[in-house]
Amino acid sequence: MSLWNFYQKSFHLKKLTKSMEVDTLIIGGGLTGLTTFYYLKEKSSICLVEANTLGSGVSQNTTGKITFLQGNIYHKLEKNISYKVAKDYLKSQLHAIFLLKDIIKKEKISCDLDEVDSYVYAQNKKEIVNLKQEKTFLENQGIKVYENKKSDISGLYSISVNQTYVFNPIKFLNGLIELLPREKMFEHTKIYKIIPKNNKYYCIFDKGYIIANKVIVACHYPFFQSFLLPLKSHIEKSYIVAYKVKEKKNYSGITVSNPGFSYRYYQDKEKAYKICLGQSHNTAIKQNDVQNFQKVIKQFQINSNDIVSVWSNMDIVTQDQLPFIGEFKKNFYLATGFNTWGMTNGIIAAKILADNILNFSNPYADLFCLKKKNFYKFKNFFLNVGSNFYAFIKSKRKQKKWYSKNLKFINLNGQSIAIYVDSDKIEHSVYTTCPHLGCSLVFNEAEKTWDCPCHSSRFDIDGHCLKGPSKFDITYKKK
Ligand SMILES: Cc1cc2nc3c(=O)[nH]c(=O)nc-3n(C[C@H](O)[C@H](O)[C@H](O)COP(=O)(O)OP(=O)(O)OC[C@H]3O[C@@H](n4cnc5c(N)ncnc54)[C@H](O)[C@@H]3O)c2cc1C
């Protein structure tokens, strides 16, 4: 449970129970899908479907920093692609911040938006050199950058900027949902397949199909294979701890290193919290979830009595550090690969896709378009393919240390089944193969979930799918 769960409103929206036809269908009710719907809400023939409940995906588990200072991204983009791409990416992030603030102000959404300074820390000489180049790049774009001002982490080289923000992402989504037509949003409606036919798309769900002229897929990791995302990205997992503090501070920070760490503060009406994230890693390399949480607690010297919630989250990291946003096939749109910066990239995606549907031009459409050829280094491409393959093979070998001592495995007609015995001696049985692309699932002892190391699907202890791209559960019921 993330800290934001405590603020989640239940909207009790209907599940779609019969087929229907619309002009535009949005699949996915996270920050990206809901903001796209917000920009398109005047359209008469539109609907949004969500597999679970609105706002229950990755957006509910973010740290909620809204910033253009994202590690040393501009230095990387300039070095690996071009100065122009780095410059355009900066402009897109500044524009996204403007758009988000504009919605919050115009619609009077109460989401505890706070202006803060953003810090980035370097931990070794090479990182210091890169961070100094980041500073130079930003200054050349007219942005005031500070060195080594006050911050929570002393002894490290850091740069910081003003006019960045933090907010409560779930309060923002709650506010957005209130503005949207309820009769056009459906919860617990998962799309399993999309079939193109006669210039329309037939989007199949368990009770029928939605026929749409235009389809926007905003479901984090696409559930269909044709976009070949596994070859273009890897999954990054991070561990987050939220705990009570005496007062909030008006800055947030992140390191450029890997495993990196980051923090921000949050204040609601009653209490102040610090939210710390650490031990980020490519899921191809499994680490011990319990130990990772403990390391974050130790690193930030957190008193266990103050802890309010702990959770992990996974995001998609693309080869060139740029998201994929745009038209995949005619009238079929996709927004994914936000590189852990989905608060800004989700907003810019929503605007690009809405502009496209409304036939407006958008200055950032080309930067993120799906056909971009920024696979800047063959090395990176092979590293990605290699790490996916490695995750697949390694998951298949079922190393014992990946599992809990409370688990036992049986093999039934060639299928591996795991039985977890909880503290009340109740057995929970699941198939251990991910229905998406066949990776072997890894048990997350800390959160009692089954996680896919290849493409970020997650299942609860009884095998119900919590997060795609898997479209199916892994529940095993004894006959
Ligand atoms: C640890 C961590 C910290 C982060 N912190 C930050 C931060 O501080 N700042 C920042 O800018 N970004 C941050 N991010 C990134 C950001 O949280 C995500 O990129 C963003 O929330 C993704 O939003 P989304 O709407 O695309 O996906 P989601 O919020 O996951 O929404 C997708 C929705 O689609 C639904 N869905 C999936 N499949 C189907 C289907 N077949 N049919 C119907 N519905 C479906 C899902 O149930 C889900 O609700 C962080 C990410 C991580 C992992």
- Which pTM does this prediction carry? 0.93
The protein residue whose alpha carbon is closest to atom 14 in ligand 1 is 340
Residue 35's identity, in one-letter code, is: T
Residues near 23 by beta carbon (within 8 Å), at least 6 away in sequence: 43, 44, 45, 46, 212, 213, 214
Contact 16, 210 (CB under 8 A): yes
Q: Which of 340, 368, 459, 467 to mutate to test the pocket of ligand 1 (most atoms within 8 A of CB)?
A: 340
CATH class of 3-61+171-229+322-379: alpha beta
What atom of ligand 1 comes closest to residue 342's alpha carbon? 19
* Tally of CB atoms within 10 A around 54: 27
Instruction: Determine the pLDDT at residue 245.
Output: 97
What's the pLDDT score for residue 177?
Answer: 98
**Atom 3 of ligand 1, residue of closest alpha carbon:** 62
CA of 336 to the centre of ligand 1 (A): 9
Nearest-angstrom CA–CA distance, 257 and 365 = 30
Report in angstroms the alpha-carbon separations of 165 from 50, 245, 253, 415.
28, 19, 12, 48
**Which residues, 6+ apart, have CB-to-CB distance to 220 below 8 Å?**
28, 30, 57, 58, 316, 336, 456, 467, 468
Task: Decide: helix, strand or coil at residue 169.
Answer: helix
Nearest in space to 189 (alpha carbons), one of 40, 12, 60, 27: 27
d(CA 56, CA 241): 18
> Which residue CA neighbors atom 12 of ligand 1 most closely?
341
Structure token pair of residue 66: 């809204």
Cα–Cα distance for residue pair 479/460, rounded to 1 Å: 21
Residue with tokens 């936000």: 338
Ligand 1 atom nearest residue 33's Cα: 25
96 Cβ inside 6 Å of ligand 1: no
Alpha carbon distance 454, 434 (integer Å): 9
The dihedral built from the CA positions of residue 73, 77, 79 and 84, taken in this order, carries a sign that is negative
Nearest to 420 by CA among 431, 406, 409: 406
pLDDT value of residue 285: 75
DSSP per-residue string spanning 385-452: HHHHHHHHHHHHT--GGGS-TTEEEEEETTEEEEEEE-TT--EEEEE-B-TTT-PBPEEETTTTEEE-
pLDDT of residue 416: 86
How many angstroms separate the CA atoms of 136 and 281, rounded?
29
For strands 415-421 and 427-431, give the pairing.
Answer: antiparallel
Architecture of domain 397-467: 3-layer Sandwich (2.102)
Give the chain's residues under pLDDT 70: 149-151, 154-155, 258-259, 372-381, 388, 391-392, 394-403, 479
- Ligand 1 in reach of 118 Cβ (< 6 A): no
Asked if 267 contacts 273 with a C-beta cutoff of 8 angstroms, the reply is yes
Longest dimension (CA), the chain: 68
Specify burial of residue 300 (Cβ count, 10 A radius: 0-12, 13-18, 19+): middle
* Beta-strand pair 458-459/465-467: antiparallel
Domain extents for the chain? 3-61+171-229+322-379, 397-467
Query: So what's the pLDDT on residue 150?
Result: 64
Q: How far is the CA of 459 from the centre of ligand 1 (A)?
A: 16
Looking at the DSSP bridge assignments, the partners of residue 419 are: 408, 429
